[in-house]
Amino acid sequence: MRLAAAILVIISALGAPALARQQIPEETMLKMRQVFTDVRDDLWLINDDFWHRGQLNRCIGTMRVLTSIDPHSTEAYENTAWLMYSDLREHDAEAFLREGLANNIDVYDLYLELGTFCYFRMRYPEAIDLYTGCVTFEDAPKYARRQLAHALEKNGDIGEALEMWLQIEASDQDYAVPEIQIDRILQGGEPSMVPEMTSHSIETRHRERHQQK
């Protein structure tokens, strides 16, 4: 309880309006920031310990605490969502990713993570919107545009998918994959079936778990 109270005090102080923060001595603010950092780092260590013990629900609980005090930890949102959907907690995973995105709209990470979540569940229009948001960031990984191209094709937007592959090819002429994909599309080849296989696997696991109950 004392730790929780301390965390609340730190969050309130660090998140206070600028005028209010100016009334707190700088030395005190520095100490509070250090305590905040120490608590955050300790939570990661606790999470690692639970992970190695196979106590995954405790990992999830620990990461929920961490994101409540540090809502800009995109890694915590990504890791926790992975644990959730690995345990077939699909709705929890998606809700947690959406919470993370709402708290981090100015970085690419969770646009990409949530876009991929939707892509592998065959929710292509949502994936396209999220991947499109992701690639607006200059530091977004190159494969995000490739994922966008795949999502466009799976959604039936063949012309837009082809245009995206042409852009990727023009930006990195030493990379062979765009040419392969462009030739396949022009020849009427089939797109990747990975989303369908992944979605089927999720449905099968849900069915098997339901039968075991």
Q: Express each pLDDT in 46-74 by its tens digit.
A: 999 999 999 999 999 999 999 998 999 99
Rounded to 10 deg, the angle between the 56-69 and 2-14 helix axes is 40
- The yes or no reply on domain 1-14+40-106 and CATH 1.25.40.10 is yes
CATH, domain 121-213, list 1.10.132, 1.10.3470, 1.10.20, 1.25.40: 1.25.40
Q: Quick check: 22 pLDDT over 90?
A: no
Indicate the burial class of 193 (C-beta count within 10 angstroms; 0-12, 13-18, 19 or more). exposed
- The CATH 1.25.40.10 portion of the chain extends over 1-14+40-106
pLDDT for residue 7: 53
Write out pLDDT tens, residues 184-196: 999 999 999 999 9
pLDDT for residue 11: 47
Question: If pLDDT is split at 50, 70 and 90, which confidence band does 174 have?
Answer: confident
Q: State which H helix or E strand residue 168 sits in.
A: helix 158-171
- Global pTM reads 0.84
**Distance in angstroms (rounded) separating the CA atoms of residues 206 and 158:** 32
Indicate the burial class of 92 (C-beta count within 10 angstroms; 0-12, 13-18, 19 or more). middle
Across 82-97, average pLDDT:
97
**Distance in angstroms (rounded) separating the CA atoms of residues 103 and 137:** 16
pLDDT for residue 9: 46
Q: Do residues 131 and 111 lie in contact, with contact meaning Cβ atoms separated by under 8 Å?
A: yes
Measure Cα distances from 121 to 102, 143, 213 in Å: 21, 19, 25
